[in-house]
Amino acid sequence: MLEVNKLSVRMQKQNLLEDISFQLNRGETLCIIGESGSGKTTLLRTLLGLIPMSQGSVMLESQVYQSPEQSQIGLPSTQIVMQDPIAALNPRQKIKCSIAESLYKLSLQAAEIDQAVKQALRDVELPEGMENRYPSQISLGQAQRVCIARAIVAKPGILFFDEPLSALDAIIQKQIAQLLYRLKKQNALSYIFVTHDLGFARHYADKILLLNNGKVEEYRDVNLFFQRPESRYGQELLEAAYILGSLPQKKTEEFRVA
Amino acid sequence: MTLNNFIRLALIKTASLILVLLGVSFLTFLLYYYAPGDKALAIANARYIGEGSASAELVEQIRLETGIDRPFLVQFYYWAQDIVQLDFGVSLVSQEPVSEIFVSQLQETLELAILSLVIGMSLAIPLSMISVWKPKSFIDRFAIALSSVGAAIPSYWLGLIFIFVFAAKLQLLPAYGSGSLAHLILPASTLGLWVLTSQTRLIRSFLLEASAAPFLETLKIRGVGPKELFCRHIVRHAFVPFITMLGLDLAFLLEGAVIVEVVFARGGVGSLLVHSVMSRDFPIIQCIVIFSAVTYVTINSAVEIFQWFINPVSLQR
Amino acid sequence: MVHQPCILTEIMSYFMSVFAFRNLVLPVQTKTLLKKHSIILLVFGFFAGLVFLGFFMTPYNPVETNFLNRLGSPSWQNWFGTDQMGRDIATRILYGAGWSVGLALIVSTAGAVIGTIIGLLAGSLGRLVDGFCMRMTDSFFAFPELIAAIVITGVLGPNTINMVIALILVSWMRFARLVRALTEDIKRRDYVIQAKLNKIPYYLVLSRHYLPNIILSVVVIWTSSWSRTILSISGLSFLGFGVQPPQAEWGAMLLDGKPYMLSAPHVMIFPGLAVLITVLTLNLMGDHLRDHLQALEK
């Protein structure tokens, strides 16, 4: 459903992204990995339309977006969950208002919005009555759930995640990962994760996109990548991760408990 | 931080400085242009003061001579041309060149400003340092009380109180006029108290901020004594913001001088301004306004450049 | 109930929330708030009550002259004495509170509104708008406040309205600078980016994301601007550029009483004390408010 074709971004005579191509089908999960400065976040922001693209095209559900002007608007039916849930919520806005913002472009009736917000909060397993609180009155994990609720409330096709777990504690990380998996199965969502947590990528992704210096080093199925990376950079990366112990030798299905 | 970057930033700063100066002169001219009343008539009346109301012919002649009926931008152009050459014209009242009047009055204001700065600073620096060095001591409480009460005292009232106590009741010092050092003491103390209170407040907050800096913890663990910590690190750290504020305060001393000069019936730029505004002597008003604005802008830029040298990090913003 | 926003309901609900001080007391309970700042609130309430009662209790007229009782010393009839025209100074000070405090309130509020609008536009729109607004702010800022106010009132003609105009013209820049800095910071926050992605229109982003997050800092500056303006107003009136005698403004009273100050010092002591106490109280209120907000941020 999403097809990125030879996308390049140039800013101030610097190539930030060069010839990025990949595809994502409905229900698939893509993990974009790479070190900081490799262009992961730039790619994400370009797809969201925050950074204009210089060349290439993006096709979403057989609609093609080519010019920078079009890409500035952002792709419809996409939503994003950011890294720091507290920074992503306006501290002076009630949670229900934050969530309702995603519904703005649909021009719904007040009762419908109310209904959708309540349903979204139920979907992310937040207790009743949470919608009337302010971000300072809830925990970090709850705040991230609110951000997810805000992302799914408008029923998008694709969800972007910018390091959604790295600000959280391990137990909450696991809970959120399980929640995301269940939501994906329920709504047939496609996910694009930006992460540098190789372990998470291994357990969670269907495909891996490895970026280095704004170029695609590798774009492959997750199992193939972790068994035998093709590029030198990929090999080095995995080697380092094994030595540090940050990447387990085996894949577990623990995250994928619905 | 490359030299190239530095030059680029300096160019941007200069460009914005020029824009601000243009804005300043434009605003000044705007005020003159939209001032109510017939300016030609005012000039005629001021010039030929003994001959009653000026004749219509004369007014017409002045109108032609000064170009008052020309379009706005044309007038602004000629006006700005004179200003750039520092030609402010002649006073409407005394017919003397404005720059001469101004320079002679500036000296008196500078005397007052410098003396009050010395009085204020020589008290403010030790006071605020002791206040931070020994928190919750008597001096600390005194400094806090002084800075909050001092900020609320109207300086003209303080001046009147000084005159009442020291000149009228105790008869120690002369109240009005200028000339000798004795004449300068009361006005300078009035303005100095303002410097003292505002600076105590500022220096104290800079020192407090510096003493909360995280790197001090490391120094403490390394065994640096409290005295050395305070004298070498905290004071040095508070120095940069202090210089910044001092520069800006210098510009605002002129403001304080206006009221003090009027209260003590002294000469100086401040009382010159008030008298010129009263008699609508536009050339002098323009000269003072532009002088104070340019002084402020220049000091501001100088402080900024000084900061670049001291702290290159601030360049990156 | 979450409503589909429209400009009108947005504005209404916004003002309601501001007036309810919802934002101000949010995580802290109102009781602890009152307890923590009780002294300054009591002092403020005391003076406010005094002025309020005084208006109704005083038997004198602030501008009516009574030459039989010129320059009378403080007594039981005239608590602060009488001035050179036999008017009761205490009454004049009470009415002067209306001039100084009320006019200063108008000036600082107008300055806050203008400055906030310009700062918001500069901070949230593109670089061109920002450059224009900030160079304009710098140009206005270059004139020392009092000097600019004297010149503007003097040129336009010394009276109360011109003084108010002049003071508004010199007071908005402080707000513009602060608001612009805060807005620039908020512009980069994730929630504003999210709002942009959700195609929330600009006016809603302003009213929901920018304004609620800057309004408290504006209030702090607003209190300090208020007390500064009181000093400026009485200073201008003292120089003869502001409120004109016989109106009972504190600075104008000092100007009036100056020639008689040696024989009857009370004509100048009490108006000055009134300025001092008012400004001090307001400053302290502002300090408390700032402390409270800093505690809120943490």
How do beta strands A2-11 and A55-60 pair? antiparallel
Provide the residue range defining the domain that includes A241: 2-77+159-256
Specify whether A215 is located in the same domain as A165.
yes
Summarize pLDDT for B164-174 with one digit per residue, the tens: 888 877 777 77
- Better-scored residue on pLDDT, A215 or A256: A215
Residue B2 has pLDDT above 70, yes or no: no
The pLDDT, as a whole number, for residue C118 is 92
Residue A92 has pLDDT above 90, yes or no: no
Interface touch A87/C191, C-beta < 8 Å: yes
Q: In the predicted model, what is the mean pLDDT of residues A175-203?
A: 85
The pLDDT, as a whole number, for residue A253 is 63
Task: Select from C239, C258, C263, C290 the residue whose CB has the most chain B CBs within 10 Å, as the one to mutate to test that interface.
Answer: C239
Between CA C6 and CA C24 the distance in angstroms is 25
**Is A22 inside any structural domain?**
yes
Could you tell me the CATH number of the domain that includes residue A32?
Answer: 3.40.50.300
ipTM of the modeled complex: 0.82
A88 Cβ under 8 Å from any chain C Cβ: yes
Q: Which two tokens stand for residue C171?
A: 């007071």
Closest Cα partner for A96 from A68, A57, A128, A51? Answer: A128
Specify whether A12 is located in the same domain as A117.
no
**Is A52 inside any structural domain?**
yes
The pLDDT, as a whole number, for residue B313 is 59
- Better-scored residue on pLDDT, B46 or C23: B46
Interface touch C144/B252, C-beta < 8 Å: yes
Candidate from B12-21, B151-160, C84-93 with smallest mean pLDDT:
C84-93
Q: What are phi and psi of A60, to 5 degrees?
A: -125, 115
Residue C137 has pLDDT above 90, yes or no: no
Q: In the predicted model, what is the mean pLDDT of residues B175-186?
A: 75
**C-beta separation of B152 from B229 below 8 A:** no
Specify whether A246 is located in the same domain as A165.
yes
Where residue C261 falls (left for φ over 0; alpha for ψ -120 to 50; beta otherwise) is: alpha
Summarize pLDDT for A23-46 with one digit per residue, the tens: 888 888 889 988 888 888 888 888
CB contact residues (below 8 A), chain C span 149-188, against chain B: 150-152, 154-157
Candidate from B110-114, C117-121, C155-159 with smallest mean pLDDT:
C155-159
Q: How many CB pairs under 8 A join B and C?
A: 135
C126 Cβ under 8 Å from any chain A Cβ: no
**Is A83 inside any structural domain?**
no
The answer to whether chain B touches chain A by having 3 or more C-beta pairs less than 8 angstroms apart is no
Residue B315 has pLDDT above 60, yes or no: no
- Better-scored residue on pLDDT, C208 or A75: C208
The CA distance from A210 to the nearest CA of chain C, in Å, is 25
**Is A221 inside any structural domain?**
yes
The pLDDT, as a whole number, for residue C115 is 93
The answer to whether chain B touches chain C by having 3 or more C-beta pairs less than 8 angstroms apart is yes
Between CA B191 and CA B112 the distance in angstroms is 8
The CA distance from C287 to the nearest CA of chain B, in Å, is 10
The CA distance from C159 to the nearest CA of chain B, in Å, is 13
- Better-scored residue on pLDDT, C88 or A125: A125
Specify whether A62 is located in the same domain as A185.
yes
Q: What are phi and psi of A22, to 5 degrees?
A: -165, 170
Confidence band, pLDDT 50/70/90 cuts, at residue C31: low
Planar angle of CA B157, B162, B164, nearest 5 degrees: 95
> Length of chain C in residues, anyone?
298
Specify whether A67 is located in the same domain as A113.
no
Residue of B nearest to C264 (CA): B164
- Better-scored residue on pLDDT, B315 or C56: C56
Between CA B158 and CA B163 the distance in angstroms is 9
The CA distance from B166 to the nearest CA of chain C, in Å, is 12
Specify whether A163 is located in the same domain as A199.
yes
What percent of chain C stands above pLDDT 70?
A: 78
C280 Cβ under 8 Å from any chain B Cβ: yes
Confidence band, pLDDT 50/70/90 cuts, at residue C168: very high
Specify whether A37 is located in the same domain as A113.
no
Summarize pLDDT for B221-279 with one digit per residue, the tens: 777 777 777 777 777 777 777 877 777 677 678 788 888 888 888 888 888 888 888 88
Looking at every residue in chain A, the average pLDDT score rounds to 82
Specify whether A70 is located in the same domain as A139.
no
Report how far Cα A207 is from the mean position of its chain's Cα atoms.
13
C204 Cβ under 8 Å from any chain B Cβ: no
Confidence band, pLDDT 50/70/90 cuts, at residue C179: very high
Confidence band, pLDDT 50/70/90 cuts, at residue A158: confident
Between CA C122 and CA A232 the distance in angstroms is 48
Q: Which of A100, A128, A156 is the last residue of a domain?
A: A156
Confidence band, pLDDT 50/70/90 cuts, at residue C196: confident
What global pTM score does this model have?
0.82
Chain C neighbours (≥3 Cβ pairs under 8 A) are A, B
Q: In the predicted model, what is the mean pLDDT of residues C118-147?
A: 85
Interface touch C262/B164, C-beta < 8 Å: yes
Specify whether A118 is located in the same domain as A233.
no
The pLDDT, as a whole number, for residue C193 is 86
The pLDDT, as a whole number, for residue A182 is 87
**Is A82 inside any structural domain?**
no
Residue C162 has pLDDT above 70, yes or no: yes
Q: How many domains does chain A have?
A: 2
Q: In the predicted model, what is the mean pLDDT of residues A219-225?
A: 84
Confidence band, pLDDT 50/70/90 cuts, at residue C109: very high
The pLDDT, as a whole number, for residue C146 is 86
**Is A85 inside any structural domain?**
no
Residue B49 has pLDDT above 90, yes or no: no
Candidate from A179-183, A213-217, B85-89, C225-229 with smallest mean pLDDT:
B85-89
Q: Which of A48, A109, A136 sits opposite C197 (nearest CB)?
A: A48
Summarize pLDDT for B273-314 with one digit per residue, the tens: 888 888 888 888 888 888 888 888 888 888 777 777 776 655
How do beta strands A29-33 and A190-194 pair? parallel
Summarize pLDDT for C242-265 with one digit per residue, the tens: 888 777 788 888 888 888 877 777
Q: In the predicted model, what is the mean pLDDT of residues B117-134?
A: 87
Residue A258 has pLDDT above 50, yes or no: no
**C-beta separation of A18 from A197 below 8 A:** no
Residue B18 has pLDDT above 90, yes or no: no
SS3 B90: strand
Looking at every residue in chain B, the average pLDDT score rounds to 79
Q: In the predicted model, what is the mean pLDDT of residues B23-47?
A: 75
Chain B environment of C174 (Cβ under 8 Å)? none
Candidate from A154-158, B101-105, B175-179, B207-211 with smallest mean pLDDT:
B175-179
The pLDDT, as a whole number, for residue C34 is 64
Q: How many CA atoms lie within 13 A of A64 on its CB side?
A: 7
Q: In the predicted model, what is the mean pLDDT of residues A53-66?
A: 79
The pLDDT, as a whole number, for residue C9 is 55
- Domains of chain C in start order, with CATH, are 27-57+87-297 (1.10.3720.10)
A159 Cβ under 8 Å from any chain C Cβ: no
Chain A neighbours (≥3 Cβ pairs under 8 A) are C
**Is A229 inside any structural domain?**
yes
The pLDDT, as a whole number, for residue B147 is 85
Chain C environment of B288 (Cβ under 8 Å)? 147
CB within 8 Å of C186: residues ≥ 6 apart? C123, C192, C209, C210, C213, C214
Interface touch B251/C144, C-beta < 8 Å: yes
Chain C environment of A108 (Cβ under 8 Å)? 4
Residue C73 has pLDDT above 80, yes or no: no
What single string gives the DSSP state of each residue in B109-149?
HHHHHHHHHHHHHHHHHHHHHHHHHSTTSHHHHHHHHHHHH
The pLDDT, as a whole number, for residue C26 is 45
Which residue is listed with tokens 């409905």?
Answer: A26
Residue C160 has pLDDT above 70, yes or no: yes
Planar angle of CA A50, A51, A52, nearest 5 degrees: 120
Specify whether A141 is located in the same domain as A163.
no
Residue of A nearest to C191 (CA): A88
CB contact residues (below 8 A), chain A span 211-240, against chain C: none
What percent of chain B stands above pLDDT 70?
A: 87
The pLDDT, as a whole number, for residue C113 is 92
Q: Which of A135, A156, A177 is the last residue of a domain?
A: A156
**C-beta separation of B242 from B234 below 8 A:** no
Q: Which of A101, A127, A156 is the last residue of a domain?
A: A156
Specify whether A184 is located in the same domain as A251.
yes
Q: Which of C140, C144, C272 sits opposite B157 (nearest CB)?
A: C272
Q: In the predicted model, what is the mean pLDDT of residues C89-113?
A: 85
Specify whether A44 is located in the same domain as A61.
yes
Residue C111 has pLDDT above 90, yes or no: yes
